[in-house]
Each structure stands twice: as C-alpha cells, then as structure tokens.
Amino acid sequence: MTSTSRPHGIYSPVVTPFTATLQPDPQRYVRHCRWLIDQGVGLAVFGTNSEANSMSVDEKKKLLDALVEAGVPTDRMMPGTGCAAFTDTAELTRHAVSLGCRHVLMLPPFYYKNVSDEGLFRAYAEVIERVGSDALRIYLYHIPPVAQVPITLTLIERLLGAYPQIIAGIKDSSADWNNTSALLERFQPRGFDVFAGSETFLLATLRGGGAGCITATGNVNPAAIVDLYRHWQEADADARQQALDATRAVFAQFPMIPALKAAIGIHTGDDGWGTVRPPLVPLSAEQRTALGNALAGAGFTMPGIEAVA
Amino acid sequence: MTSTSRPHGIYSPVVTPFTATLQPDPQRYVRHCRWLIDQGVGLAVFGTNSEANSMSVDEKKKLLDALVEAGVPTDRMMPGTGCAAFTDTAELTRHAVSLGCRHVLMLPPFYYKNVSDEGLFRAYAEVIERVGSDALRIYLYHIPPVAQVPITLTLIERLLGAYPQIIAGIKDSSADWNNTSALLERFQPRGFDVFAGSETFLLATLRGGGAGCITATGNVNPAAIVDLYRHWQEADADARQQALDATRAVFAQFPMIPALKAAIGIHTGDDGWGTVRPPLVPLSAEQRTALGNALAGAGFTMPGIEAVA
C-alpha cells in the first residue's frame, strides 16, 4: 500500500526494544507501534532516539518487515534511512519504498565533518538516483548537535531545484528557533513541510505554517502532544504547550533515550524495556526510581499501554 | 596465516580507489597496496582517509577478500573495523580475524555524542565478546576532530584491565601532542603501543618510546617516512622530520583525501584515481594543476608507482 497523503501532525522516533542479549525485539516493537498509532502518532522509526545508528542495515530491514507483516499501516510510517555510507542509505531506502514506506527521514552522511554542500548534494543525489522511484519522498534530517553535519538553507535550495517532487520537507532538530523560522518562511510556502524537532517548538511551528513535529517524547506522552496539534488554534493552546513543556522537563532531567525506555518499562510493568545498546547505558536503579517518582508527582500516565502478554 | 609479530613502524590508511560509477575497484586497490608494501609501509586499510565510513560492511569485506586472495600479506595489514553500530563492528572484525588479519584499528561508535566511558567500554566489550577470538588485537582509534567521540585515558585503563591481551595499542589522531605524550608515558611502558596519527609527530613519538605512526601521506610519500623510522636515532633525524613536514605541507594546502588520490593519479597517469565518494568531492581541475605544480616544485616523486596495465 502506497499512500498519497502527505505526512503531517505528530510523529515519534520510535524507541527500539532490545532483548537481554541486545537483539532487536519485534514483539515488543509491534506492540508499542500499535499503541502509538492508536494515540494518533505517526512512526518515525529508526530516528536518533530509536538508537537507529546502533543497528545494522539488516537489523533495520527486518524490523521494518516485522511491522509491515503485522499490518502496521505504512502510510503512518516515516522510517529514518540515513547512514554514514550512501550505499547503506540507498539500500535501506530502497527496502522501505519497496514495502510501501515512501516517506523517509534522511540524515546526511555523518562521519566526515566540514564537508561541502556540493558533497552533501551529491550524496543525496546518489541515493535518489540509485533508489530510482518516483514514489520516494525525502524529509531531510537536520540534527547538528548529534550528526555534526548541518543541512543548510543553500543545500535545501539546491536539492529542491534538482528534485522538486522528491525533496518533501525537513525535521529541524537544531533546537534553534531562528533556523526553524527561516525554514518556515523560505520553504514552507513552496510545499516543503517543516517539522519541529520536538514539541518544544510545536505551537510556534504550527503558527508559522509548519506541518507538525517529530518528537522523542511522542513515545510516552503522545495523546497530549496530538491534542495540541488538533487544537492549536483554540484559546487554551498556550496552556497546552506549557503542559507539554512541563512533562518534557521531567524527562530532560535524565538521559533521554534510557529515560523514555524506563518510563515505558514502569508503565507496562515490563522491565525489559529498559535495555539500551551501547554506547548508551540504561538508567541506574536510583535514576529509574527518581524518574518514576517525578512522573508520578507530575500526574503522568500512559493510558492504554500494555505489556506484551 | 596469522602473524605473531607486533605491528610497528609506518602504516598508511590506504586510499580506496573507486570506479567511475563509484564502486570499489579491487584491481587498482591491490596494485596500490603492493606498492605500499614494497615501500615498507603497512596497510591500515579502511581508515578515515580510506573513506571507510562511506562504504558498507559488505563492500569492505569484499575488498579485504580481494587483498587476501591476491596474496597481500595479512601480517602487514591493520584493517579499520569500527562502525557506528557495534553489530557492524563485530561482523567486520570477525571477518578480518577469519582471514588472518588479527590486528584491527577500531573507532568507537561515533553517531551518539557525549556518551560515557561506561557506554564506550560496553561497546568495545560487546565486540570483543562477539568476535570471541584470542587472536584478536585491538588498536583503539582516537580521532576526536572527526569521530567527535574521544577515547579517554580512563577508558583505556579500564579496557586494559578487562582485556589485557586484546587491547594492544592506539592511533592518536587528536593532533594534540599533550595527549600523545600522556599516552606514551602512561601506557607504552605496559606494552600498549602508541602510534602517532601522522608523521608530524613521528620523531617525537619514537623518542617517547612509541611504535611508529599511521599516516595519510604514507599513501604518497612512504619511502621517506619509513626512512625516518629506520634512522630516527641518527644525527640527521631532525632534518628528515623537517623534510617530511615540508612534503606534508604541500598536501595540506588541499583537501587531504582528494589530494592524495589526485597525486596518485598524476604519478600513475591514471586519472580514474581522482574519484571520491560523496560527501567528499574530487579536486577541481584547477586544484589538481596547482597540486601537480606544487609537488613538482618541491621535487616530489613516487618512485616505482605504476598504473594498472
């Protein structure tokens, strides 16, 4: 199934469950993805918060296969497919498109630093040419704090000029509102969809004409974030934004990825969710208790989430 | 063939030739590796200057197969096997060891930033346990300007404590002599071999008791660098170091990887050597001419190098 609808609203970089021996766990994964879909959140599987770059291409292909085989709707997915090597990016992107996941979120090649826009243009162009599908829609992934390789306005302009049908938008994880604002002003009116990199800038992005946000905390607080998206033009929008900020602030006291997984573990009663792949480390027992207490104190809940039976 | 000798002297991160369609080119590769061996330089294949992280694990496995099948001696190789995902690192390392390449140069996982020494320790430990070979010898690859993930003295201490037979040394590409000096003082006396990250610190490293250097310009200026290694205790050592520095300074006027490949192209008459994978870009025609002129002006030669017939 290939969707013709354009992604918008709230997506989450889905955290990836691992078994005790650090293998990807499709059973917990499908369960969590279904819950997110039920909450109104799209699946930006294989994002930074998914520990995507701690997995091989084959591991990611198999997880995507598992979701599709389980009937998780491909038109609600936006898999991250950007790897260090463009040959890997092309392979994973080709696989995603072949499964009907036409919308992909694509990091630039991220090992070499201080590379030119010309070089990054060539990297994206190689992937586009090698995938060779008119169905492909690429959302550029700008996350300079982690990738350390930025996607500049000049690069976007050039990519849009060369591939106007395929270059579809961006996730801006710069945490720099000036950059998000410039993207909204310059590119959103041309149909290039701007997603904020977290819910912190969700209301501001929507007021600026943007498409939504792709946010780590969508894994744990999906309904409230979706509610702001649905009601952003109402009188209580600023209050809703403040409530989202307060919940995010609880998680931000801890390393984000282990904290997201620990919270899912606490609310499903499934401690196995706490496992992360190195170079990340799970929360300590003390951190996990502190997180649980802070979330309880904030009245935080995850309605409807269940452990794998 | 598994060598029992300990690597020392001069190694080069072998530049990887690509065809016009950007495929790895085993024919040019084997030829260049044989020339380097003839010059006395060991093969740190799949280093940063090899564009290793612009290649998939499978592409690297096949290039290593091609070298071994061509009879290039495995005891003169130190393949780089560190990838972003530890599962990829384990797969490539296992393949190298299975071919008799027991000495590997291993980047830390490099996508996630500001990770803990605990997390990096776990990443190396997972690879060591999954490879499961007593023959394995790991040279840590410290290159914070590119990987942005440092290998600290504390991490080395912990790895040496846990795996004293397997953790064998380091390539220090910090370009920070204070760090190299600290490594030499603290770890070299314990049999942990310190390689400078370029010939810039070769003489200083040897005077500090280190093992040698692993240097990009070993691809183009191997004999002179090896000569300093062989004669570093002689009276003219400082003059030799200055001569090496002067040659390196010519290359340093250009982007290093494309310049190394262009120089090989100029000296073999094989323009195809100039090809690089994105996100890198080849030298422009003007840059190539300027490089050729600067090298000619410096009296630079590459004796014995030949084009593929």
Query: pLDDT tens digits for A110-147?
Result: 999 999 999 999 999 999 999 999 999 999 999 999 99
Site from A87, A94, A152 to mutate, B interface, most B CB atoms within 10 angstroms: A87
Q: Does B8 touch chain A (CB under 8 A)?
A: no
Instruction: Please list the active-site residues of B.
Output: 48, 111, 141, 171
Q: How confident is the model at residue A163 (pLDDT cuts 50, 70, 90)?
A: very high
Q: Which of B48, B118, B279 sits opposite A108 (nearest CB)?
A: B279
Contacts of A10 (CB under 8 A, 6+ apart): A40, A41, A42, A199, A202, A212, A213, A214, A215, A218, A222, A225, A226, A229
Phi, psi of A10 (to 5 degrees): -110, 125
Of A11, A124, A139, A141, catalytic: A141
Of A16, A29, A48, A81, catalytic: A48
pTM: 0.97
Cβ of A146 within 8 Å of Cβ of B59? The answer is no
Site from B50, B87, B146 to mutate, A interface, most A CB atoms within 10 angstroms: B87
Cβ of A279 within 8 Å of Cβ of B112? The answer is yes
Helices B26-38/B57-69 angle, 10° precision: 60
pLDDT of residue B90: 98
Contact residues, chain A, for B278 at CB < 8 Å:
86, 109, 119-120, 122-123, 125-126
Q: How far is B31 from chain A (nearest CA, A)?
A: 24
Please say if the pLDDT value at position A3 is more than 60.
no
pLDDT of residue B2: 40
Q: Which of B59, B85, B119 sits opposite A281 (nearest CB)?
A: B119
A207-243 pLDDT, tens digit per residue, is 999 999 999 999 999 999 999 999 999 999 999 999 9
Q: How confident is the model at residue A2 (pLDDT cuts 50, 70, 90)?
A: very low
Site from A15, A54, A159, A284 to mutate, B interface, most B CB atoms within 10 angstroms: A54
Segment B62-79 shows an average pLDDT of 98
Nearest to A132 by CA among A105, A83, A166: A166
Active site residue A141: yes
Q: How confident is the model at residue B1 (pLDDT cuts 50, 70, 90)?
A: very low
Q: Give the 3-state secondary structure of residue A212.
A: strand
Segment B287-295 shows an average pLDDT of 98
pLDDT of residue A1: 37
Nearest residue in B to A110, CA atom: B111
Contact residues, chain A, for B85 at CB < 8 Å:
53-56, 59
pLDDT over 70 for what percent of chain A?
Answer: 98
Q: How confident is the model at residue B4 (pLDDT cuts 50, 70, 90)?
A: low
Contact residues, chain B, for A145 at CB < 8 Å:
113
Work out the mean pLDDT of chain B and round it to a whole number: 96
Q: Does A161 touch chain B (CB under 8 A)?
A: no
Q: Does A117 touch chain B (CB under 8 A)?
A: no
Please say if the pLDDT value at position B309 is more than 60.
no
Distance (Å, rounded) from C-alpha A108 to C-alpha A86?
Answer: 9
Q: How confident is the model at residue A306 (pLDDT cuts 50, 70, 90)?
A: confident
A267 torsion bin: left (phi>0), alpha (psi -120 to 50), beta (else): alpha
Please say if the pLDDT value at position B3 is more than 70.
no
Nearest residue in B to A92, CA atom: B56
Cβ of A56 within 8 Å of Cβ of B22? The answer is no
pLDDT of residue B125: 98
B188-220 pLDDT, tens digit per residue, is 999 999 999 999 999 999 999 999 999 999 999
Q: Which of B122, B123, B279 sits opposite A123 (nearest CB)?
A: B279
A48-81 pLDDT, tens digit per residue, is 999 999 999 999 999 999 999 999 999 999 999 9
Q: How far is B78 from chain A (nearest CA, A)?
A: 20
Q: How far is B206 from chain A (nearest CA, A)?
A: 29
Cβ of B88 within 8 Å of Cβ of A148? The answer is no
Between the CA of residue B106 and those of A253, B46, B72, B167, what are the distances in Å? Answer: 33, 10, 21, 10
Segment B73-88 shows an average pLDDT of 98
Cβ of A279 within 8 Å of Cβ of B119? The answer is yes
Contacts of A264 (CB under 8 A, 6+ apart): A15, A32, A219, A220, A270, A273, A302, A305
Cβ of B279 within 8 Å of Cβ of A83? The answer is no
Q: How far is B110 from chain A (nearest CA, A)?
A: 8
pLDDT of residue B253: 97
Q: How confident is the model at residue B5 (pLDDT cuts 50, 70, 90)?
A: confident
Q: Which of B108, B118, B146 sits opposite A281 (nearest CB)?
A: B118
DSSP string, chain B: ----SPP-EEEE-PPPPB-TTS-B-HHHHHHHHHHHHHTT-EE--SSGGGTGGGS-HHHHHHHHHHHHHTT--GGGB--B---SSHHHHHHHHHHHHHTT--EEEEPPP-SS-S--HHHHHHHHHHHHHHH--TT-EEEEEE-HHHH-----HHHHHHHHHH-TTTEEEEEE-S--HHHHHHHHHHTGGGT-EEEESSGGGHHHHHHTT--EEE-GGGGTSHHHHHHHHHTTTSTTHHHHHHHHHHHHHHHTTS-HHHHHHHHHHHHHT-GGGG---TTS-PPPHHHHHHHHHHHHHTT---TT-----
Work out the mean pLDDT of chain A and round it to a whole number: 96
Structure ipTM over 0.95, yes or no: yes
Distance (Å, rounded) from C-alpha A135 to C-alpha A100?
Answer: 9
Distance (Å, rounded) from C-alpha B259 to C-alpha B87?
Answer: 33
Q: Which of A91, A123, A278 sits opposite B86 (nearest CB)?
A: A278
Q: Does B175 touch chain A (CB under 8 A)?
A: no
Cβ of A56 within 8 Å of Cβ of B91? The answer is yes
Q: Which of A86, A145, A278 sits opposite B277 (nearest CB)?
A: A86
Q: How confident is the model at residue B308 (pLDDT cuts 50, 70, 90)?
A: low
pLDDT of residue A99: 98
pLDDT of residue B306: 81
Nearest residue in B to A112, CA atom: B146
**Entry field: residues in chain A:** 309
DSSP string, B28-59: HHHHHHHHHHHTT-EE--SSGGGTGGGS-HHH
A27-55 pLDDT, tens digit per residue, is 999 999 999 999 999 999 999 999 999 99
Distance (Å, rounded) from C-alpha B168 to C-alpha B103?
Answer: 9
